Amino acid sequence: MSIGISTASFYPLETEESIALISENGIPCTEIFFNSARELKDSFIDYILEIIYNTPLRVTAIHPMLSFAEPYMVFSEYTRRFDESLDNFERYFEIAARLGAKFVNLHGDRPTGKLSVEEYCERFKMIADEGKRFGVTLCQENVNGYRSCDPEFLADMVRFLGDDANFTLDIKQSIRSGHTVPEIVEAMDYRIRHVHISDHSPAGDCLLPTRGSFNFSALITDLKNHGFEGDYVIEVYQNAYKEHNEVFECYKSLINSL
């Protein structure tokens, strides 16, 4: 287990600058959130590899930039768009494999989506099978405003997909959807592969770790009991701090508190 920082925490700082900043501060792992089609080019991936070469930084997961479009591209009734989205995911899986990342995240469909749970899971599995060709695991993230914010939906995925159900747990998204983190963890069962961490309190639902009241030690113990042995990455939004160094200060405070 390692604790790292997602490049999304520094958005809108350009992706390569975020990676360099994380690397320079000796962080052991990161999730890379891609924000531009140009960043999917081989030359850009080569540049990322140059930045992290001979450093301790390890890429745990990547996050596609078109998550907002997944309801339209992946989970609509128009199957040709889904076929095209498979090509898009193939590129992300290829990139993940080059970077040594084990996981690619998926937001999924909106609650208003017309596909049944079974149809949703069939498409999820088709994408996941593509990832397996590259040695990469597709993970459903719990996201507020999406079907995946509902613990019952997550439990349905486990029931339909079995071992093909894999998840990314996001603390802030759980809070925003009105569900406790233990509820989401229980619904995901023993299939959590990656975790986005943040803190919260009455002052806000997306704070830097140690600036709220969340018990991270209890979470780590709970997830360990659920078989989780992966990485935790800090993922917050830019309104959670004023200066970049605050992210690293809170990172150190979290490490020291565990």
Determine the Cα–Cα distance for residues 210 and 146; give it in Å rounded to an integer: 28
Q: Which of 152, 118, 160, 136 has the alpha carbon at shortest distance from 64?
A: 136
Determine the Cα–Cα distance for residues 68 and 44; give it in Å rounded to an integer: 23
**Residue segments in the chain with a per-residue pLDDT below the cut of 50:** none
CATH of the domain at 161: 3.20.20.150
Written as six digits, the tokens of 89 are 């995911």
Determine the Cα–Cα distance for residues 242 and 157; give it in Å rounded to an integer: 39
Number of domains in the chain: 1
Q: Which of 128, 127, 64, 61 has the alpha carbon at shortest distance from 100?
A: 61
Which residue range is the domain that position 243 belongs to?
3-257
Written as six digits, the tokens of 59 are 């890429």
In this prediction, residue 5 carries a pLDDT of 98
In this prediction, residue 174 carries a pLDDT of 98
In this prediction, residue 242 carries a pLDDT of 97
In this prediction, residue 237 carries a pLDDT of 96
**pTM confidence score:** 0.97
Cβ atoms of 151 and 115 closer than 8 Å: no
In this prediction, residue 51 carries a pLDDT of 97
In this prediction, residue 233 carries a pLDDT of 98
In this prediction, residue 239 carries a pLDDT of 95
SS3 237: coil
CA dihedral 109, 113, 117, 122 (to 10 degrees): -60
Determine the Cα–Cα distance for residues 19 and 34; give it in Å rounded to an integer: 11
In this prediction, residue 75 carries a pLDDT of 97
The phi-psi region of residue 166 (left if phi > 0; otherwise alpha if psi is between -120 and 50; otherwise beta) is beta
